[in-house]
Amino acid sequence: MSYCTVTEALSLLPTLGTLRDAATGVTATVPSATQGAAMLTATDAEINAHLIDKGHELPVTGAEALAYLKAVAMTGTAARIAKAKWPADSGPGGDSGAASALRGDYTAMLAFIDGGGLSVASSDVVGSSVAHGFRDSEGTALSGSTLVAPFSRETEF
């Protein structure tokens, strides 16, 4: 499942335009459309690895989570495309350029997922504990049996 399209990712790089593959009378762009699609696939796989590592089942179905994952995929794919377009260590591909800025944003977005900041539908969380989403009286997250009280729900219904 792709969280975005290459066209949506390119919207973060408005000066780049459309990616094209080579054809009769048409010169391929750098990167090409095929390469851009492969970059999107790699970005989606990386996002999925982070989600699985946090115990989320795929595909994610929560609307808010999907909106966030779309932004993550757009940013990660745009970062890869920018680095391919401007591979030099100066200009747009350098430390203060578009590729670096997008990569920094993408890294921060993945860190947000890794830190447990992404809320997904409760049915997307793997685990047998009925304590998921509960905290004890000191605010410590519970992950085991709820036979030990007191506990309170993290979110309101």
| Residues 108 and 143 occupy one common structural domain | no
| Degrees, nearest 5: CA angle 103-109-113 | 140
Residue 33: is its pLDDT beyond 80?
yes
Phi, psi for 143 (deg, rounded to 5)? -130, 0
Q: Which of 139, 31, 136 is nearest to 84 (CA)?
A: 31
| Residues 74 and 145 occupy one common structural domain | no
In terms of residue numbers, what domain contains 138?
A: 127-157
Q: What is the mean pLDDT of residues 83-107?
A: 83
Number of Cβ within a 10 Å radius of residue 156: 4
CB 101 within 8 A of CB 39: no
| Residues 120 and 132 occupy one common structural domain | no
What pLDDT, on the 0 to 100 scale, is given for residue 96?
72
| Residues 32 and 97 occupy one common structural domain | yes
What pLDDT, on the 0 to 100 scale, is given for residue 127?
47
Residue 93: is its pLDDT beyond 70?
no
Q: What is the mean pLDDT of residues 39-61?
A: 95
Question: Using CA atoms, how far apart are residues 102 and 73, in angstroms rounded to an integer?
Answer: 11
Q: Read off the tokens for 8.
A: 């949506």
Whether 1 is covered by a domain: the verdict is: no
Total structural domains within the chain: 2
| Residues 107 and 139 occupy one common structural domain | no
If one compares 120 and 86, the residue with the highest pLDDT of the two is 86
Q: What is the mean pLDDT of residues 113-130?
A: 64
pTM: 0.74
